[in-house]
Amino acid sequence: MIFTLLILSSAIMAVLMVGTGQVRSNIIFYSFQTLLIALTTCVFAYVENEHKHYILALVIFIVKTMGLSLFLLWLTKRIGTARDTGTFLPHPLAMHLSVLLLIFAQILSCQLPHLSKLEDFSAGGTAGISLILTGILFMLTRRLAISQVLGFLTMENGIFLFALTQASGMPLFVEMGIFLDVFVAVMISGLLIFRIKHSFEHIDVTLLTSLKD
Query: Using one digit for the tens of pLDDT, what is the confidence trace for 60-86?
Result: 898 889 988 898 888 888 777 777 765
Asked if 131 contacts 154 with a C-beta cutoff of 8 angstroms, the reply is yes
39 band by pLDDT with thresholds 50, 70 and 90? very high
Residue 159 pLDDT > 80: yes
Asked if 10 contacts 131 with a C-beta cutoff of 8 angstroms, the reply is yes
Q: Flag the least confident range among 40-44, 73-77, 133-137, 192-196.
A: 192-196
Q: Flag the least confident range among 47-51, 145-149, 179-183.
A: 179-183
Residue 207 pLDDT > 60: no
113 band by pLDDT with thresholds 50, 70 and 90? low
Say what the pTM is: 0.81
pLDDT of 43: 87
pLDDT of 14: 92
100 band by pLDDT with thresholds 50, 70 and 90? very high
pLDDT of 97: 92
90 band by pLDDT with thresholds 50, 70 and 90? confident
pLDDT over 90 percentage in the chain: 20
Mean pLDDT of 171-186: 61
Sequence ranges of the domains in the chain: 2-208
Residue 103 pLDDT > 60: yes
pLDDT of 32: 95
Mean pLDDT of 135-155: 85
pLDDT of 104: 92
Mean pLDDT of 174-195: 62
Of the two residues 115 and 154, the one the predictor is more confident about is 154
Cα separation, 115 vs 121, whole angstroms = 9
Secondary structure of the chain as H, E, C letters: CHHHHHHHHHHHHHHHHHCCCEHHHHHHHHHHHHHHHHHHHHHHHHHHCCCHHHHHHHHHHHHHHHHHHHHHHHHHHHHCCCECCECCCCHHHHHHHHHHHHHHHHHHHHCCCCCCCCHHHHHHHHHHHHHHHHHHHHHHCECEHHHHHHHHHHHHHHHHHHHHHHCCCCCHHHHHHHHHHHHHHHHHHHHHHHHHHHHHCCCEHHHHHHCCC
